[in-house]
Amino acid sequence: AAGCSILVKAAEETPAAPAALIKAFADAGLPPGVLGLVYGTPAEISSYLIPHPVIRKVTFTGSIAVGKQLAALAGQHMKRVTMELGGHAPVIVCEDADIALAVKATGAAKFRNAGQVCISPTRFLVHRSIVGDFAEALADHAKALRVGDGLAEGTQMGPLANPRRIDAMTTFTEDAVQKGAKLLAGGQRIGNAGYFWQPTILADVPKEAKIFNDEPFGPVAAIQPFDTLEQAIAESNRLLMGLAGYAFTKSLKYSDLLARKLEVGMLWMNMPAMPSAEMPFGGVKDSGYGSEGGPEALEAYLNSRAVMIQNA
């Protein structure tokens, strides 16, 4: 839409996906040379392409650490960037929340793509008066999910991307339990073929647990009770990540307070995550800057300038 030619750097572990997408564009009639694809070592490609004078704009989706490196490199050459980086989405469930709705909405968001989604909810902050009922319901939801081949009929959650994610889920789960968390569901690898992990629910998770500080990028949810909404907001904003957040309440007063105080780029209240093309998609703080949706995304690929003409 902005009229820019595009060069795509394929992810090392999913090279076929962008190739199929680019072929689809070519089959639809996109002229040759408008959309290209490169493979190779990320550091080598980035160090060559970003400084190259033909490149005018860089957009990156990935980890915070790599995003900072690429932003620094782009900054040396005054290249504009859009950075959609890591997240650690909080979920605030107030005392007046519809528990069934909260479980259905966040359960769908948590286990979509086996939790390997940047806006996946991770820290479930639930009012102490309902935390037991909520935890039990979310655990039941997790236990009922059918895990298996993503192409098989009836599968509700597929595998993790690689063996490193299995190791990470093991570490997150064991660390939380060792620090006092209760394992309500899952917590184990499923078989030895493929990278399947049980949908996992942890309750009474202490703030010091790894799962409450590092992005899991997997199907593990951590629950912690709160007594006041101010406490929940403070915990939500404690981390340097600020991509997405979720909240459930029937109170307009609470909704207004949460909308103003939560340090996130996207906030869904009383509903599942539903990104759309017309809304800005991006985070704040270490989760990056810029947008991958809405008019803001299009403007990032355009140059604004002023032209003044006086009649001769």
Catalytic residues: 84, 118
The span from the CA of 86 to the CA of 107, in Å, is 20
Q: Running DSSP on this structure, what letter comes out for residue 279?
A: S
Q: Which residues contact 74 (CB under 8 A, 6 or more apart)?
A: 50, 58, 80, 81
Check if the beta carbon of residue 138 is closer than 8 Å to that of residue 103: yes
Burial of 12 (0-12, 13-18, 19+ CB in 10 A): exposed
The span from the CA of 110 to the CA of 102, in Å, is 12
Check if the beta carbon of residue 87 is closer than 8 Å to that of residue 215: yes
Reading the block at residue 93, the tokens are 């469930």
* H/E stretch holding 225: strand 220-226
141: Cα separation from own chain's centroid: 21
The span from the CA of 283 to the CA of 297, in Å, is 13
